[in-house]
Structure 1
Amino acid sequence: MPSPTLHDPQLARLADAHTLTIQHWLSSRAPQARTFTSLGTRVASTGLKIRLLNQALGAHYPPESPTEDIHADIESVKSFMQARPIPGWYWWLGPFTTPAHFPELLATHGLDYDGRGLPCMVAPLPAQNYPPLLPNLTVWRAQTLADLQVASFIRRTAFGFPDGEALTYFEDMPGDWLDGASPARLFLARAGEGEPAAIGALILSEGAPGVQVPGVYVMATLPAWGRRGLGAAILARIMDEATQLGHSFIVLTASRYGFGLYRKFGFEPLFDYAIFEYSQETS
């Protein structure tokens, strides 16, 4: 695929398909996870009490689907989630949601949208202008169970997961992260001879038949090590790896904390996801 332009509609479709596929994969791999495919969406729930890990992803209903069928489908998703021991969950909607008025239908079923979009961003490869990387930082691909265990600790600490939740994650599925042929590559970083303090992953999936799309995921740094260049070092490594694999672009979704870093590495906003939230504690 040729190097994309930042507002190429085909690129947006590739990025959207890839992102929703990987978000589903990340929430479906834990041993206690369950999945559900409805008329117009895919659902994955880890069963952990963390909304980010229980998600309905996209809305692509067949043309001419009766509105009553779509309403029934939304209720089927809610029923699936209500059977899980979770306080709430998210429904992601991208730019190719069909029907176009689907967000209005979600609102009638008690799902709330706060109006803040989650940017999906893209950068060309190879990267044009890395910011300067700090010396004395080491980045390596996870190779051992101990690497996976410390990565899980960094993830739950950096993301502020509730006490007792997601105590394990990467080590529950070692084949996904340690197999050299896996589409997922997990990286860790440390400063000097210190302990690992940051993680990030390169994950590949098809954005369209025969078109592999690389994405950046689970970027996390321990709070005590923030703004010390570890995240930048991991992002540079991920982009280099994707370049070596022959890719001409890479995508990610950006939290408000990471947005500035990603812009420094050449990422530009492509579109926003609308994230609707459903609270089962108050329903």
Structure 2
Amino acid sequence: MLRETFATRYVTPLREGGSLPGIVEAEDLGTYVMKFTGAGQGRKSLVAEVICGGLARRLGLRVPELVCLELDPVIGLSEPDQEVQQLLKSSAGVNLGMDFLPGSIGFDPLAFGVDAAEAGRVVWFDALVNNVDRSWRNPNLLVWHGDLWLIDHGAALIWHHNWPTAAASAARPYDASDHALAPFGPDVAAAAAELAPLVTEETLADTLADVPDAWLADEPGFAGPGEVRAAYAEVLAARAASVHERVVLGEPTPDRGSRAPGWLTSWPHRRGDAVASGRKDGTR
């Protein structure tokens, strides 16, 4: 289970983030980026964050620590923005906190090199969870203390938005042509040989146990959270076995943007969610 703590002070919203995450302080003296159950993306975004973040950590990839963050909406009463106040009011109870990584910077492929092995591990992992949000347009990668950190997985596991077609997604290819690490020659085959055997029944069960029951309750077509967890495990296990055979690394789309992206020159970098997803570093 994820560690639990209580939010004690709402610091500021991260307005670049589509889900309007916010920075909060907690009773354990930590600073977190909080993502809210009441946000427009809904609780499935938080479920994806927990599953992907927990699985990545168990596979040896660097991701911010995740915690269950209890919210009393009263802490936002001094926030002048009505949109923020409404978000806090609609998110009472357990939300998701990601450790804030102070001093991290957005990944810049021109300034930070990644070897083929590490690039392969990240691309393989993103193929496993069907992460559509790690492109050169929006890398969702941080560099902290000289290491690469993965953040913002709320858009992954896209098949859980349509469970009747989820099983078929295990056989679908993963187009990594626009992946942020595609230029580094990712060795996906080597990553599959290393990581796929680690995606065991036990690993998946431990990862899925981190998701609060409340976020899995009332899922249409399922009798309860246990059945939902089993459905996630079935799809992920199937993808782990052979998804490396269907990773496509073609030419990137031609509309490549500026080579000096805004998230590199301004902090917080990328759309606040990056900051959000980046427990902007392990230290507090």
Higher helix share: 2
Same fold flag (TM > 0.5): no
Q: TM-score, normalised by structure 2?
A: 0.28
Q: Structure 1 length as normaliser, TM-score?
A: 0.28
